[in-house]
Structure 1
Amino acid sequence: MKKYIKYMLGVVLLITAGSCKKNLDVQNKNAYTYDTYFASDAVLNQATIATYATLLHNGLWAREWYFIFDLLGYEAKNDQPLTGDLLNLAQYNFGNNQPTLDVMWASLYRMVFRANVVIDRAGVWKAVTTAELAHQKQYIAEAKFLRAYAYFNLVSLYGRVPLRVSYQETTNTLEQPRSGVAEIWAFVEKDLQEAQADLPVTFANTDLGRVTKGAATALLGKAYLYQKKYALAVTELNKLTQAPYAYILSPNYSDLFTAANQNNKESIFQIMNQTWTDWGIGSQYYVFGGQEINGKATHSDRAQEYGFNDWSNVFITTTAVKAFTYAHPQTNAPYVDPRAAYTFYGDAASGGQTQYCQQCAGGPIAYPFAAKGYHYLKYGYYNLIAVYGGPQSGINGQVIRYADVLLLLAEAYIQQGNTGAEPLGLINQVRARVGAPTYLTLGNQTNAFGILMRERQLELTGEQARYFDLIRWGVAKEIINAQRSIEDGTQPFQDKNVLLPIPISEKNANPNVAKDISNDWN
């Protein structure tokens, strides 16, 4: 056998050597190029799905995204196991070499790159059948949504950034300067308007997770609101409350953050997760090196990272917990909001969940508050098991949901001085879902906005909305420093923190960005 193998290797080497001399100028017809590969419906579909895949790359929804914005928005604080670069975020003690922020920047631009490839290649694809022509529009629209999503976050977090609007710019103009904030927002709006026109209202169950016309409408309305274009925000967001859309609030708030009934009519855009073991392909962890290598299953490790009985990296902050106790809207007596019991584990007085393992054999078990303190329940599944055993949660990540839209719409009304029936009804609709007492009036604009701020905090705690809200409202320094001063005696938020630092990796690679950065920050 060994002699036979050596003989065959010799034949292969001789053939290779001979053919190399004669055929150096012959094109390999089996080799793919950028121009020839993306030439079928199946391949362009794969390219579109690969653009979605970046949502679960490093710095985004599989792992770092929730750490970044729960810590920066002070809805989470470090437990003792939290160390290194994540601890820098918790203490606002980071610079432009912060690794987690660096990979977030890289993943958002990777999303832009892949979206640009899809838009470029699908645009020149010779679609023939009716189905192919429909898919051609759909793939381009999906890619434009995802590109807009990436730039929505980049401009919100960093302000001026390089705007790479085509595949050619992405690959050939690596030293592109930063564009103005208004130009980037205009590009986001255009992408979303065009995506909105060509996306379907719904997909079949086999395509759950793909972006819809409603997702594009929601993100466009949100983009208008972030720019203080309140009338336009009302127009867009209000569309989602009527036909052809059929969004409703899930009757059970917990369905949005557990494995049960999570693909419900409240979700407008979510990250679809499923564990490796659900697919029967072992226990490889997507978030720790398994991305786009070992199969199609994805998962989040938030449950494991935040879990009080597992890695316990963070607490929910005491100030976030205390926000759930406020004056009753009608009697003015102290009142504990029902959403507390779905958001965190705590003691009875706080309204937090006081037991776990409700569905375990022999359960439930009393939550050991005296030893553990306040910990996150949202996005956890201790109702099913006492210990997770690995970072492989299949619970979907909520990016945009209907309750968020209703509160954004209420805010757009209030910001224009309307504190009447429209915003009152929207806020009360969100409260009624969990059985919270309704407001009879919102009062003047200042009072109404205060109510709106609290409603967004309580409804969206631990969903990475708080930081974005505080920044765009212009109150991040005031509120975060006040909370930190009470809780740990620090005031870490500085004026420069209203924008994140441009990563040193971008500065080192792009001299046109480097010369546009002040004080090694932004």
Structure 2
Amino acid sequence: MKSIIKKINIRSSVTVMIIGLTLSVSSCKKFTDLVPNNSFAEETAFTTPDRVAQAVNGVYSAAQAGAYTDGSNRGYPFGAANTEQQDARGEDVIAVPSFYLITYETTNATNSPNGTAMWETLYALINRANVVIEGVQGALANGVISADLAKQYEGEARFLRALAHHELLIHYARPYGHTSGATHPGVPYRTTPVNTPERVTQNLSQGRNTVKECYDKIIEDLTYSENSLPATYSTANLKITHATKGAAIALKTRIYLHMNNWSKVIEEGNKIVSSTAPFKSSVGSYELAGSPDAPFSQNYGTNESVFSIENNTNRNSGTNGAISTMYSKTPGRGLIAISPIIWNTASWKPNDLRRSLLATNDGRAYFSNKYRDPATFTDANPIIRYSEVLLNLAEALARTNSLDLRALALLNAVRNRAVTTVADQYTIANFVTPNSLIQAILDERRIEFLAEGHRWGDIHRLATDPVFSTGGIPAKVSFANTTFASWNSSTPYAGSRSVAAIPYADYRFVWPIPLSETTNNPTLKAQQNPTW
């Protein structure tokens, strides 16, 4: 292994994937693993049921925290960073100088730490998943584990592999609708572990799959997961922090939404959403919590949480990365504020309970109150909530059927637990055209998922929408140009948006493949995103 690493610069993603291999079954010197610190070589990692289980847990560990460019734990890719980076790419938060300004102002370069760390840790996660898939298949062939357990473990690894590849697509590739048939460049979809010199060579020669090929492979992985994973686990927090059948289906509704495949969103959504209110799921017992506050105040404690990434007191993203300290003010650092653009929007009613329950202020600005533990950083990072599934399904129904009543009911199920004034609640009479209902669903997504890292995904997928296009990256508010009076829920924001919009056609809409990759990978160097 050392001889392989010596041949390649230490920051290249292929090398990072090799490093991910050795860590997947070993303790990490930088920080405490979420799993017991038993260390053993790959050759013996899949020789006992306990070691196989620990190797699988190592994939979740890689999802929670890969090494940042300086070797520290800042929650890359999914412990915290995906949420923070996606929000900072949009206009509904403000980067309070200067922690997220490169992402917020889109001044990144090929060697920017955020883009580099995201690429490297996502591919390290993918490699861990691939190592485990191959190792589990070997353990099954050698009689170490049962066929059912092998399918479950592979399903868990393929779920995380799919999640990681999609995160890469929305940062480093144009959206599915960019070309007819999505034939434009995506990212390399890696399904083989990098653990021999021959495989290093193979990976260096693998170019970018098309976006369609990537999405097809994501669906393939998630369908395997759906058919292989249990509906739930007996341990309480594993029901949320480990992949399940319902989580695979829920993620498929998101993926098909990005593909503009409304009929498939509906097909998948109907598997876990009942036909009528209160829209409980027969798979995984998912349901909306009674209060919009509950999924956050109870952390892992409600049936609304479909899949979250665990953080705990021993392994978390710390003061330089944890979602609680980034989004919270006093005692958090408050480096990501709520923007008056969304706070003042007319679609967010002044008496909406999400204003009082899920936001707070320090007399200077408003901040999210979704993450409550800036002292020990144990807040779970919510990757998928059931409310997302309901709104994914609502949008697909509204785009398919004129003024669809079920779409309205799904929208109201999410919205009315926060909008309790009857006069402010929607009826079908509020919508003159089908597009007005779709717009209301899109507006609700911005409010419901504020500070959960969904805004960039919607900007990305809607950029090519013929009716609801975001036009690119919207203009944003500079924190320096605000006062506390800028936040006024009764008046739409009319102040300065000095962070200029970036049109969709601009090369900066997508991130570059990092320099650490292109320096050592001639194939991807030749396939760099244009102008970068």
Tell me the TM-score range normalised by the shorter chain.
Answer: 0.7 to 0.9
**Shift in alpha-carbon separation, 1:32–1:265, aligned structure 2, 3 A:** closer
Q: Indicate the RMSD between aligned Cα atoms, in angstroms.
A: 2.7
Partner of 1:268, secondary structure, is: strand
2:485 corresponds to = none
Contact (CA 8 Å) 2:133, 2:157: kept in 1 or not?
Answer: yes
Alignment of 1:113-512 (within 5 A): 113-126=127-140, 132-159=146-173, 160-167=186-193, 171-175=200-204, 176-205=206-235, 207-208=238-239, 209-242=241-274, 243-258=282-297, 260=298, 262-276=300-314, 286-287=316-317, 301-310=322-331, 311-323=333-345, 325-326=346-347, 335-346=350-361, 368-369=362-363, 372-381=364-373, 388=374, 390=375, 392-436=376-420, 437-441=424-428, 442-474=431-463, 475-477=469-471, 480-481=474-475, 486-494=495-503, 495-512=506-523
TM-score (norm 2): 0.75
Change (3 A) 1:50 1:133: same
Count how many residue pairs are aligned between Structure 1 and Structure 2.
Answer: 432
Distance 1:170 1:155, change over 3 A: farther
Q: Which one has more relative contact order, counting CA pairs under 8 Å at least 6 apart? A: 2
| Stretch moving more, 154-163 or 398-407 | 154-163
Cα drift, residue 479 of structure 1: 6.6
Q: Take 2:473 and 2:189, find their aligned partners in 1: how far apart are those partners?
A: 32
- Distance 1:480-1:257 versus aligned 2 partners, 3 A rule: same
Q: Which amino acid aligns with 1:472?
A: R
How far the C-alpha of 1:287 sits from its partner, in A, is: 2.6
SS at match of 1:186: helix
State the Cα distance separating 1:427 from its structure 2 match: 0.3
C-alpha separation between the residues in 1 aligned to 2:111 and 2:342? 29
Dislocated runs of 4+, deviation >6 Å: 127-131, 482-485
Q: Aligned equivalents of 2:268 and 2:500: distance in 1?
A: 38
Measure the CA separation in 1 of the matches of 2:524 and 2:143: 45
Q: Which amino acid in 1 is paired with 2:134?
A: D
Q: Which amino acid aligns with 2:507?
A: K
Q: Which amino acid is 1:166 matched to?
A: T
TM-fit CA distance, 1:487: 3.5
Deviation at 1:271, TM superposition (A): 1.2
Paired-residue identity, %? 25
Q: 1:74 aligns with which of 83, 87, 91?
A: 91
149-158 or 164-173: which moved more?
Answer: 164-173
- Give the corresponding residue for 2:50: 42
Query: One-letter code of the match for 1:444?
Result: T
| Secondary structure of the structure 2 residue equivalent to 1:339 | helix
- What is the SS of the residue equivalent to 1:244? coil
Runs of 5+ unmatched residues, structure 1: 1-30, 277-284, 290-298, 328-333, 347-367, 382-387
TM-score (norm 1): 0.77
Structure 2, unaligned runs of 5 or more: 1-38, 69-75, 174-185, 275-281, 464-468, 479-493
| Conserved 8 A contact 2:126-2:161 | yes
* Bigger helix share: 1
1:24-63 correspondence runs (5 A): 34-57=42-65, 58=68, 59-63=76-80
Which 10-residue stretch deviates more, 335-344 or 261-270?
335-344
Whether the aligned pair in 1 keeps the contact of 2:357 and 2:369 (CA below 8 Å) is yes
Distance 2:199 2:59 in 1: 15
